[in-house]
Structure 1
Amino acid sequence: MTISGDARFWDRTARKYAAGAIGDQAGYERTLARTRALLRPGDRVLELGCGTGTTALRLVGAVEAYLATDISAAMIAISKEKHATTPIPSLAFRVAAAEEITPEPALFNAVLGFNYLHLVRDLTGTLAQIHALLAPAGLFISKTPCVADMNPLIRFVLLPAMRAIGKAPYAGVFRASELKKLINAAGFEIVAVEDHATKVNDNRPYILARKR
């Protein structure tokens, strides 16, 4: 499967995804609160892998401008449907991968990637692009599954089998320790690593990094 194949997978599952419940609502609320506290009223924010726009709609009120992107046109369509019910001029949704985004008219003060980094095919390249999109001392905030820290049954049996039959998109396999090294190597200083989960064995570290 290629990135276009990944996009088609998310297009097929978008409505089901939108109808599903958040697995750890308390953990999600903790992540939102922590992120909102880090954002400033004058910030320009980019969210990568925004899905159906739930997080964007919750955080946009804290900043000046918010661009939410996803590779799935169906996900973005649902985001725009939600946005149409409560229009917010400072919020925009766009179908795009990180590599297709240019900072117009200025660099972003913060880039967000929730449940995102494990889904990109070129993690090193994506982190370099995020670094390039950020203003000096800008923040990169991520929270993503570290599959290599999960149950081996998931890593070696369930995930490959589901991908083979088209029931799962690409998922990178790395440990939290490896992810932190890659973020550092991309030109970031890691400021904090937190666990927001309220369920055991979540393995999705919340990482706050600042552009060096």
Structure 2
Amino acid sequence: MNISEKFWDKKAESYAKSPISDEETYKRKLTETQSLLNPTMRLLEFGCGTGTTAIHHAPHVLHIDAIDISENMLDIAREKASNANIENITFTHSTLTEFNADTASLDAVLGLNILHLLPERQSILTEVARILKPGGIFVSSTVCLGDSLFRFIKPIVPLGKLLGIMPDVYVLRKSELVSEVQNAGFAIERQWYHGMKGMVVFMIARKL
């Protein structure tokens, strides 16, 4: 188990109990995503956490594979899905690369609040493009600290990670994120900003 897994396993219970910080924005994200879904679609969410978003989307698609590196998060997600009588989600302990979905096998991929926590974003985005069908959609929500004073957090991240008080966090700019998504073979159809100083980018992109 790596340091990030340990961090999120330890965080799982408190994370599950914490309220959504901006309910209106969260509902907007759900609505915009669901406007693109249909009952024949197969969807993958990587970094699914405790499963809240996957559970919301499950009634609108055929099946969801929801993956995360934290088994404790997944245990909570499975219980929540069972309590909600949701049976079309498969929760799996895995990274996106380890999951190794078949090429062009999925209609949609969700990566919410996760890209800024991953060291190899471009390879992850390339993998998302590989597993999506042509015309498939990629929905993401990403914190871009590089456009704010929080960019100065970069030097203290390794220490925070070592002490177990913070996960991997990578500082990027919105322009970098846009370029990386486009370079992976996507056309960005929609993007808007929210959070403190508009640091969070919600994006809907389509595989070319």
- Shorter-chain TM-score range: over 0.9
Identity %: 34
Q: How is 1:55-70 mapped onto 2 (pairs within 5 angstroms)?
A: 55-70=53-68
Which residue is equivalent to 1:18?
Answer: 16
SS at match of 1:110: strand
CA, structure 1 residues 13+43, in 2 after alignment: closer, same or farther (shift >3 Å)? same
CA, structure 1 residues 160+153, in 2 after alignment: closer, same or farther (shift >3 Å)? farther
Q: Does 1:201 align with 2:180?
A: no
Q: How is 1:104-119 mapped onto 2 (pairs within 5 angstroms)?
A: 107-119=105-117
Which residue is equivalent to 1:83?
Answer: 81
2:46 and 2:196 map into 1 onto residues whose CA distance is 26
Question: Paired residue for 1:152, among 150, 153, 161?
Answer: 150
Q: How is 1:134-149 mapped onto 2 (pairs within 5 angstroms)?
A: 134-149=132-147
Unpaired runs of at least 5, structure 1 = none
Q: How is 1:155-194 mapped onto 2 (pairs within 5 angstroms)?
A: 155-156=153-154, 159=157, 162-194=160-192
CA, structure 1 residues 105+92, in 2 after alignment: closer, same or farther (shift >3 Å)? farther
2:103 and 2:159 map into 1 onto residues whose CA distance is 44
SS at match of 1:178: helix
Query: Aligned pairs, how many?
Result: 208
1:205 and 1:102 map into 2 onto residues whose CA distance is 26
2:28 and 2:152 map into 1 onto residues whose CA distance is 26
Which range moves more in the overlay, 79-88 or 8-17? Answer: 79-88
CA, structure 1 residues 112+173, in 2 after alignment: closer, same or farther (shift >3 Å)? same
RMSD: 2.0
2:74 and 2:162 map into 1 onto residues whose CA distance is 26
User: Which amino acid letter does the alignment assign opposite residue 111 of structure 2?
Assistant: G
Q: What CA deviation, in whole Å up to 9, does each residue of 1:28-57 have, x standing for no partner?
A: 111111111111221100001110001011
Which range moves more in the overlay, 101-110 or 41-50? Answer: 101-110
Which range moves more in the overlay, 147-156 or 122-131? Answer: 147-156
SS at match of 2:200: coil
Unpaired runs of at least 5, structure 2 = none
Which residue is equivalent to 2:125?
Answer: 127
Cα deviation for residue 105 of structure 1 reads: 9.9
Confirm or deny: 8 A CA contact 1:148 1:155 kept in the other structure.
no
CA, structure 1 residues 105+202, in 2 after alignment: closer, same or farther (shift >3 Å)? closer
Cα deviation for residue 208 of structure 1 reads: 1.1
Cα deviation for residue 9 of structure 1 reads: 0.6
Q: Does 1:50 align with 2:48?
A: yes
CA, structure 1 residues 204+153, in 2 after alignment: closer, same or farther (shift >3 Å)? closer
Which residue is equivalent to 1:34?
Answer: 32
1:58 and 1:65 map into 2 onto residues whose CA distance is 12
